[in-house]
């Protein structure tokens, strides 16, 4: 649905090809008939950008965990079943790896019905599990944390492994571009600790300009990432004391040069920051699984969650300063990156892992 799912799928495919396998990434939404996928994506994008209460209601009705029965996304996902099974047969796939909850619903259904020949290994990209990820027909679940894995096991009787997050190797290695970003920060606002404010690829955030003003007034350099939302970027470009760059192609360098990331979704940008050793603070999270994920990250100790402006500034002062507190958060974040995602996938496919 968003760029995070695409990023994870692309990195998994890259790793598979590196090991000598043939890998193909497929967007589920175009497999839906009559333009339904495009409409669904536009609805979600508009909701998180402009009508967050609409997505909050949808999450409450369909996705929120709990014992009460709620409608499933399966009827919609099933409309793509024929195209997915045809694609799996035509490519002679050995395994299918959903990284999106509707895809997990569909593969689980098709496997349970005996209509999908290759096994399905779901990579659950969220820190918080919502019910639409879970279908007992899937063969394997791969989770970011042990905590998430335990929750999946309680929900469905399917093998589950904790593999840690998936990021490109550049986020786990020294970043040459960090020095260039540091020079840019120092030229723009000498002596001010740079703090990245992320609105995701879609530029979806609540009161981003207000948060940037708050940070600038407190002596920080807010580096505001507006994603591909050109309208938001143009509106914030002249914000006093802030740096609003164009679309960033060197995220490893930027994150390593920054002191802290302020995140609102517990998504791939937050995971990339943890890999880079950049502390994360959750603030004004997007509704639904964004808010749940931000809370779950903080509960795991890999980030902090600021309930209001004063708490945000306290967290930024703690985490931007060198010392035991900052180093402790960095160490806890990096502990997440402990597993090999492809090993259980290739084992499930019946092929040796390189």
What's the whole-number mean pLDDT along residues 294-321? 97
Residue 351 binned pLDDT confidence (cut-offs 50, 70, 90): low
Residue 354 binned pLDDT confidence (cut-offs 50, 70, 90): very low
Q: How many CB atoms lie within 10 A of CB 174?
A: 10
- 29 and 55 belong to one structural domain: yes
- 108 and 7 belong to one structural domain: yes
- 210 and 307 belong to one structural domain: yes
Token pair in block for residue 151:
């929750």
Dump pLDDT digits (tens) for 146-195. 999 999 999 999 999 999 999 999 999 988 899 999 999 999 999 999 99
pLDDT at 33: 87
Dump pLDDT digits (tens) for 20-76. 999 999 999 889 888 888 887 777 766 666 666 666 776 777 666 666 655 566 787
Q: Which of 109-113, 172-176, 213-217 has the lowest mean pLDDT?
A: 172-176
pLDDT at 94: 97
Residues in contact with 351: Cβ distance below 8 Å, sequence separation at least 6, in sequence order: 21, 94
**Crossing angle (nearest 10°) for helices 3-18 and 268-276:** 60
pLDDT at 290: 84
- 59 and 117 belong to one structural domain: yes
- 54 and 78 belong to one structural domain: yes
β-sheet with 121-123: strand ranges across: 121-123, 140-143, 160-162
Token pair in block for residue 176:
């040459």
- Please give the tally of structural domains in the chain: 2
Token pair in block for residue 237:
């470009």
Residue 119 has pLDDT above 90, yes or no: yes
**Residue range(s) defining the domain that contains residue 290:** 170-334
- 175 and 233 belong to one structural domain: yes
What's the whole-number mean pLDDT along residues 207-216? 95
pLDDT at 353: 43
Token pair in block for residue 178:
């960090």
Asked if residue 344 is part of any domain, the answer here is yes
- Cα separation of the two ends of the chain: 31
**CA atoms of 59 and 63, how far apart (whole Å):** 5
Asked if residue 9 is part of any domain, the answer here is yes
Compute the mean pLDDT over every residue in the chain, rounded to the nearest whole number. Answer: 90
Q: Sign (positive/negative) of CA torsion 270, 272, 274, 280?
A: negative
3-state secondary structure of 221: strand
3-state secondary structure of 265: coil
Q: Answer yes or no: are the C-beta atoms of 265 and 285 closer than 8 Å.
A: yes
pLDDT at 4: 83
β-sheet with 304-306: strand ranges across: 221-225, 194-198, 260-263, 280-283, 304-306
Asked if residue 235 is part of any domain, the answer here is yes
pLDDT at 37: 80
Residues in contact with 342: Cβ distance below 8 Å, sequence separation at least 6, in sequence order: 12, 15, 16, 19, 353
Phi, psi of 260, deg, nearest 5? -150, 150
Asked if residue 326 is part of any domain, the answer here is yes
Q: Answer yes or no: are the C-beta atoms of 266 and 294 closer than 8 Å.
A: yes
What's the whole-number mean pLDDT along residues 128-144? 93
Residue 214 has pLDDT above 70, yes or no: yes
The closest of 273, 12, 206 to 125, measured between CA atoms, is 12
Asked if residue 303 is part of any domain, the answer here is yes
**CA atoms of 178 and 331, how far apart (whole Å):** 20
- 97 and 191 belong to one structural domain: no
Asked if residue 354 is part of any domain, the answer here is no
Residue 248 has pLDDT above 50, yes or no: yes
Q: Which of 60-64, 138-142, 293-297 has the lowest mean pLDDT?
A: 60-64
- 310 and 184 belong to one structural domain: yes
Dump pLDDT digits (tens) for 11-32. 999 999 999 999 999 999 889 8
- 182 and 327 belong to one structural domain: yes
More confident of the two residues 165 and 77: 165
What's the whole-number mean pLDDT along residues 210-224? 97
Dump pLDDT digits (tens) for 261-282. 999 989 999 999 999 999 999 9
- 117 and 228 belong to one structural domain: no
- 94 and 179 belong to one structural domain: no
Q: Which of 87-96, 226-235, 240-249, 325-334 has the lowest mean pLDDT?
A: 226-235
Find the CATH number of the domain harbouring 257: 3.40.50.2000
- 240 and 93 belong to one structural domain: no
């Amino acid at each position: 649905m968003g760029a995070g799912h695409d990023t994870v799928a692309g990195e998994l495919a890259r790793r598979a090809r590196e090991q000598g396998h043939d890998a193909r990434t497929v967007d589920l939404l175009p497999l839906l008939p009559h333009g339904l996928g495009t409409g669904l994506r536009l609805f979600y994008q508009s909701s998180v950008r402009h009508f967050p209460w609409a997505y909050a209601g949808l999450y409450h009705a369909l996705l929120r965990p709990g014992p009460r029965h709620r409608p499933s996304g399966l009827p919609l996902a099933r409309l793509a079943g024929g195209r997915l099974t045809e694609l799996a047969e035509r490519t002679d796939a050995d395994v299918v790896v959903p990284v999106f909850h509707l895809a997990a619903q569909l593969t689980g259904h098709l496997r349970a019905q005996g209509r999908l020949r290759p096994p399905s290994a779901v990579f659950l990209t969220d820190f918080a599990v919502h019910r639409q990820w879970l279908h007992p027909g899937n063969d394997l679940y791969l989770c970011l944390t042990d905590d998430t894995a335990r929750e999946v096991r309680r929900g469905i009787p399917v093998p589950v492994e904790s593999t840690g997050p998936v990021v490109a190797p550049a986020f786990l290695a020294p970043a040459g571009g960090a020095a260039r970003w540091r020079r840019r920060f120092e030229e723009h606002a000498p002596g001010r600790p740079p703090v990245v404010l992320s609105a995701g690829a879609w530029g979806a955030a609540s009161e981003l300009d207000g948060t940037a003003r708050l940070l600038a007034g407190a002596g920080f350099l807010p580096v505001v990432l507006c994603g591909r939302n050109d309208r938001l970027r143009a509106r914030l470009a002249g914000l006093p004391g802030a740096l609003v760059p164009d679309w960033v192609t060197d995220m490893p360098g930027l994150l390593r040069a920054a002191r802290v990331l302020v995140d609102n979704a517990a998504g791939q940008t937050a995971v990339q920051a943890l890999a880079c050793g950049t502390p994360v603070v959750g603030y004004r999270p997007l509704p639904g699984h964004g808010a749940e994920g931000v809370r779950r990250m903080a509960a795991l100790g890999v980030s902090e969650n600021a309930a209001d402006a004063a708490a945000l500034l306290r967290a930024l002062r703690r985490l931007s300063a060198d010392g035991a507190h900052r180093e402790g958060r960095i160490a806890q974040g990096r502990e997440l990156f402990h597993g090999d995602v492809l090993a259980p996938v290739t084992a499930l496919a019946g092929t040796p892992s390189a």
